[in-house]
């Protein structure tokens, strides 16, 4: 499931730029408890790129993930349509290994992005539908 996925209309150069932006956003991470810093860069259909980083809290369950801070910032800014998300994360200076989104982030991505939505990691491109098959959605709880 590595790098061979096409990413719609997004060029290789745009992919690289998006991943680079995620790595820049990672520098803003507030992660004094885990030391695991994550950055996310969300390409919106408007062309805007919205950044996110993880924000931890002494009350550990309140920690916010980079992917969700980016998606929530984008929604708050009026964005409603998204083309791709890049994620860059790791402990200390390590950031070569792919940083996969956690289960909660996968569910939020499934809510706001299409099934074919590309997620760019350090080792290639994954699709939202592959990272969370059978995602819960509103029709699942409708009568």
Catalytic residue at 94? no
DSSP state of 53: E
What is the spatial distance between Cα 14 and Cα 41, in angstroms, rounded to a whole number?
11
66 binds ligand THU (CB under 6 A): yes
Candidate ranges 19-27, 59-67, 119-127, 134-142; the one touching ligand THU (CB under 6 A):
59-67
Q: How many residues bind ligand THU (CB under 6 A)?
A: 13
Q: Pick from 26, 43, 82, 101 the residue near ligand THU by CB under 6 A.
A: 101
In this structure, are residues 52 and 30 in contact, taking their beta carbons and an 8 Å threshold? no
* Collapsed DSSP state (helix, strand, coil) of residue 76: helix
63 binds ligand THU (CB under 6 A): yes
Give the CA dihedral 99, 121, 71, 42, nearest 10 degrees: 150
Per-residue interface string for the shown chain with ligand THU, residues 7-36, x marking contact by CB under 6 A: ------------------------x--x-x
Q: Which two tokens stand for residue 122?
A: 């350090």
* H-assigned helices in the chain: 12-26, 66-76, 103-112, 128-131, 138-141
Q: Nearest approach, Cβ of 110 to ligand THU (angstroms)? A: 14
Beta-strand pair 124-127/118-121: antiparallel
In this structure, are residues 108 and 94 in contact, taking their beta carbons and an 8 Å threshold? no
Candidate ranges 9-17, 60-68, 115-123, 131-139; the one touching ligand THU (CB under 6 A):
60-68
Cα-flanking dihedrals φ and ψ of residue 83, to 5°? -105, -35
Residue among 47 and 61 whose Cβ is closer to ligand THU: 61
56 binds ligand THU (CB under 6 A): yes
Binding residues for ligand THU, rule: CB under 6 A, are 31, 34, 36, 38, 54, 56, 63, 65-67, 101-102, 105
For the annotated catalytic residues, the residue numbers are 67
């Amino acid at each position: 499931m590595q790098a061979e996925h096409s990413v719609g209309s997004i060029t290789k150069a745009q992919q690289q730029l998006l991943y680079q932006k995620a790595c820049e956003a990672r520098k803003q991470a507030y992660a004094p408890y885990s030391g695991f810093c994550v950055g996310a860069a969300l390409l919106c259909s408007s062309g805007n790129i919205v950044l996110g980083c993880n924000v931890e809290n002494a009350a550990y369950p309140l920690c916010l993930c980079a992917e969700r801070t980016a998606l929530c910032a984008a929604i708050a800014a009026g964005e409603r349509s998204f083309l791709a998300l890049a994620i860059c994360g790791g402990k200390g200076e390590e950031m070569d290994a792919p940083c996969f989104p956690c289960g909660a982030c996968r569910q939020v991505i499934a809510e706001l992005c299409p099934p074919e939505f590309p997620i760019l990691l350090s080792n290639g491109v994954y699709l939202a539908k592959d990272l969370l098959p059978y995602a819960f959605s509103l029709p699942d709880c409708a009568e």
